[in-house]
Structure 1
Amino acid sequence: MMSAGHGAAMPAGDVGLVVFALVGLLGGVHCLGMCGPLVTLYADRLGDDGPVAWTEVRQHLLFNLGRSASYALIGAVMGLLGTVLYDAAAVAAVANDVRAIAGLLIGGFIVLTGAKYALTGTTAGLVGHLGSGTVFQRLTGRAMARVDAWVEGPRIVALGAVHGLLPCPLLYPAFLFAFAAGSPLYGALSLTVLGLGTVPAVFAYGVAFQSVSPRFQGPLHRSLGVVFLVLGYLPLSHGLLLLGIALPHPSIPMYQPLG
């Protein structure tokens, strides 16, 4: 079986991180649907009718820092859970089988998610419906209730961090990918890249205090779907490789130990 650590056209891991950056950049508009109401609320508390002050810019940056940090932390936790699973499977001498099944299931889910986004131009669906659940409402309600107390100080970071816990059709496939990677470091790094990729759109929205035209949302969601197809292909192709079905695939650190 061909080693996944050889023959890559790009340095190991570069492909995955580039894809995560694209997910963040294209998904930034989607994030406004999740973060928008909270950003609008705290921007209204911060802002006035004059020019944007440095204190406002600082608070928006802190909010986005909290978001990105929470994504990175959850990515690391998911990568750690994957490591625990794969290590346990290695003890039972079924590590390759477990990695293959994880790659097929997770890669398949991300590919189907991407196909839906690309075909429909929307992120609505099973994961999106989770946003109307009780847990989502409670978390959002608690965050909204603390805006006045936290908006002007460093605790605005916590308002941003809450978003890592909310059901999100952008984040869930990324968290699953981190799990398939089985690496806390790679999970944290990839989700950090994704989180930073969403910052320009959310930051601009908060500072400019304006919405995104629905006319642009559809094409962006379709583009996001195409990027998810690429992201899902990575674990899917490696899962198939472990079953003896070789497809063209880039080298990614999470699969290098496998022969």
Structure 2
Amino acid sequence: MDGGATPPVLPANPPEAVAFVVVGLLAGAHCLGMCGPLVSVYAERLSDRAGTDSLTLYHVRQHALFNVGRALSYAAIGAVFALVGGLFFGAFDSLAAIGSGVRATTGLVVGTVIILTGVGYLVGRSAAIDRLTPKPVTRVFRHVSGWATARVDRLVGGPRILGLGAIHGLLPCPIIYPAYLYAFATGDPIRSAALLALLGLGTIPTLFLYGTLLGQVSPRRRATLHRALGAAFLVLGYIPLSHGLMLLGVSVPHIHVPFYQPFG
């Protein structure tokens, strides 16, 4: 194709789609640490508006809108990361050897970061992973969270709760960081948006149950879920890592998942 390299529009492959859904399902317990306080606040406001603590259709609708807003936010930001990745790789494609080396290095770096994140969860060091968030980002999180909490009453009662959920895509989260890096490595905005949406939707069951029925998840059960999350990250990280190794001529078992491959 003339006029520069363009990443192909590819749907999410079954292996990576399943990996993102599993990460989302297991990440729900971690999300409670970040989103739980705000979920508790808006759940309480919903009960006040409905005049009952019992689960009603109104509660279900508002919780669904909140969580759909989160998933859409993740999808949009993932698409942006993939677009930047596609432009980054495309800049090197005029020199095939350099372009291949850049893609291989990116696969190795992204895969290693995701695997290290998984190891952190496996060995019970998820708190250490949380501390990797830069202080400026943490300050932004506090401001955004405070802004959202102060406006819960205005946002919680109607369709605008969708925006309250969308704000969460801007909050620092060690679960989402590796997913955004993976999106960057694909260079495919459409596919990445689908994958990040799947991850966001995967977190809904835990957050929905927390906001409507459970109210809490025991530390022991959360630790178990974190270990399972770590294992899922190991699988997800191996995909770009093996891709990078294959580009370097190292033959390893791999799952066939297309990363950035410009049309000629």
Fold match (TM-score > 0.5): yes
TM-score (norm 1): 0.91
Aligned 8 A contact 1:66 1:159 in 2: yes
Distance apart, 1:56 and its partner CA:
1.4
**Measured at CA, do residues 92 and 128 of structure 1 come closer, stay the same or move farther in structure 2, by a change above 3 Å?**
same
Instruction: Give the conservation status (yes or no) of the 8 Å contact 2:22–2:232.
Output: yes
> How far apart, in 2, do the equivalents of 1:257 and 1:102 lie?
16
TM-fit CA distance, 1:51: 2.4
Aligned counterparts of 1:44 and 1:57: Cα–Cα separation in 2? 14
Per-residue CA shift, 1:102-137, capped at 9, x if unaligned?
Answer: 0111111111111111112x5212444528721111
Alpha-carbon distance, 1:90 to partner: 0.4
Secondary structure of the equivalent of 1:164?
helix
Q: CA RMSD in A?
A: 1.9
* 1:18 equivalent in structure 2: 18
Is 1:42 aligned to 2:42, yes or no?
A: yes
Q: Is 1:125 the equivalent of 2:161? A: no
Q: Which residue of 2 aligns with 1:108?
A: 112
Between the aligned partners of 2:134 and 2:54, the Cα distance in structure 1 is 35
2:84 aligned residue = 81
CA contact (8 A) 1:128 1:168 kept: no
Q: 1:62 aligns with which of 55, 65, 70?
A: 65
Distance in 2 (CA, whole Å) between partners of 1:54 and 1:24 is: 25
In structure 2, the CA distance between the partners of 1:98 and 1:181, relative to structure 1 (3 Å rule), is same
**Shift, 1:12, TM fit:** 7.6
The answer for unaligned runs of 5 or more in structure 2 is 1-10
**Native 8 Å contact 1:128 1:169 kept in 2:** no
Greater displacement, 39-48 / 246-255: 246-255
2:101 pairs with 1:97: yes
The C-alpha deviation readout for 1:72-122, integer Å capped at 9, x for no partner, is 0011111111110111110243211110110111111111111111112x5
Partner Cα distance (1:154, 1:128) in 2 = 34
* Equivalent residue number for residue 8 of structure 1: none
Partner of 1:161: 166
- Counterpart position of 2:253: 248
Unaligned runs of 5+ in 1: 1-10
Q: Do 2:12 and 2:191's aligned partners in 1 also have CA atoms closer than 8 Å?
A: no
Give the alignment of 1:203-214 within 5 angstroms.
203-208=208-213, 210-214=215-219
Residue of structure 1 in register with 2:8 after alignment:
none
**Separation (CA, whole Å) in 1 of partners of 2:109 and 2:258:** 20
What letter matches 2:112 in structure 1? G
Deviation at 1:257, TM superposition (A): 6.1
